[in-house]
Amino acid sequence: MILINYFARYREQLNLGGEKLPLTDSLRTIEDVRRLLMARGELWSQVLGENNLMCALNQELCHPDRVIEDYDEIAFFPPVTGG
Amino acid sequence: MTVRVQREVFDVGRLIASLQANDPGVGAVVNFVGYVRDINQGEAVAGLFLEHYPGMTERSLQKIIDNARGRWPLRAVEIVHRIGPLSISEPIVFVGVSSPHRQAAFEACAFIMDYLKTDAPFWKREDVAGGARWVDARDSDRSAVERWADTSQEAAMQRVPA
């Protein structure tokens, strides 16, 4: 099982703050998870297909090619705008 | 070295004083305070809402502080970032550093602020005439942070004792 969080504009557009997914053999990296979610339809494909999408693994910024493990916490969000 | 993420307003004078308090080794304190502006991208802004990623926010700020301490001899660092609803002219963020000499303090404060802008998971939603809109990230913030990468090797060389 992996936990996926969505923040800010993504959370609003997807109308979802987070969800849990079973970690199947086909999900090796964060990019695999993103591809799986994008296949849900036009909205998902549009939001998670943005080329400046940021992602985090266990609360640290990372590259989408990072390998994931069971019980990992993943997050997808638009570029940050704090400060 | 404190990181705080809070709804409440902060006391700038007290934060600045705390950077030097009880430390005779401090010769310089530099700080930055960010405020909510009334206009963004040519449109009047009535207020802001700041969202963040609880847990990751604190970790990312701590990591930025650790990186800054690896580059400059800092005596103390304070970061306070507010979340939730904010009105025009309210302070959003405080970054303050102290060090023996001014150059390190100036640079470290700018370094921390630049990385906070690109790496810390905060998002601003503005209230404008047409409703609420999420603020877009600026390319200039990305280029601001890149200048530190360019000088990292040089900075590392400078840290090697003669």
DSSP chain B: -EEEEESS---HHHHHHHHHTT-TT--EEEEEEEE--SEETTEE--EEEEEE-TTHHHHHHHHHHHHHHHHS--SEEEEEEE-EEEETT-EEEEEEEEESSHHHHHHHHHHHHHHHHHHS-EEEEEEETTEEEEPPPPHHHHHHHHHHHHTHHHHHHHHS--
Q: What is the pLDDT of residue B155?
A: 47
- Parse chain B into domains and list their residue ranges: 2-147
Considering chain B, what is the average pLDDT of its residues?
Answer: 92
Q: Stretch B103-128: mean pLDDT, rounded?
A: 98
Residues of A with CB below 8 A from B92's CB? 82-83
Residue A3 has pLDDT above 60, yes or no: yes
The domain of A42 spans 2-77
Residue A82, domain member (yes or no): no
Query: Does A33 reside within a domain?
Result: yes
- The minimum CA-CA distance between A47 and chain B, rounded to whole Å, is 14
Nearest Cα of chain B lies from the Cα of A65 at a distance, in angstroms, of 18
DSSP state of A83: -
Tell me if B102 sits within 8 A of B30, measured CB to CB: yes
Q: Is residue A61 part of a domain?
A: yes
Residue of B nearest to A56 (CA): B56
What pLDDT is recorded for position A2? 98
User: Is there a contact between B113 and A83 (Cβ–Cβ < 8 Å)?
Assistant: yes
Largest CA distance in chain B: 60
pLDDT in tens, A8-47: 999 999 999 999 999 999 999 999 999 999 999 999 999 9
CATH number for the domain harbouring residue A6: 3.10.20.30
Q: Mean pLDDT for chain A?
A: 98
A18 lies in some domain: yes
Q: Inform me whether the pLDDT recorded for B41 exceeds 90.
A: no
Domain count for chain A, please give it: 1
Are B81 and A82 in contact (CB < 8 Å)?
Answer: yes
pLDDT of A21: 97
CATH number of B2-147: 3.90.1170.40
- The answer to whether residue A44 sits within a structural domain is yes
Look at residue A83 and tell me if it is in a domain.
no
Evaluate whether B100 touches B113 at the Cβ level (below 8 Å): no
**Do residues A70 and A1 make contact, with C-beta atoms less than 8 angstroms apart?**
yes
Out of A73-82, B142-151, B152-161, which region has the weakest mean confidence (pLDDT)? Answer: B152-161
Measured between alpha carbons, how far is B87 from B67 in angstroms, rounded to an integer? 32
Q: What is the DSSP string of B17-47?
A: HHHHTT-TT--EEEEEEEE--SEETTEE--E
In three-state secondary structure terms, A53 is coil
CB–CB contact B123 A9 (8 Å)? yes
Q: Is residue A27 part of a domain?
A: yes
Q: What CA–CA distance (Å, rounded) separates A63 from B29?
A: 36
Kindly determine whether residue A83 and residue B59, on different chains, have CB atoms separated by under 8 Å: no
For B118, the closest of A7, A56, A80 (CB atoms) is A80
Q: Give the confidence band of B162 by pLDDT, cuts at 50, 70, 90.
A: very low
Give the pLDDT confidence score for residue B158 in this predicted structure: 45
A40 falls within a domain: yes
pTM beyond 0.80: yes
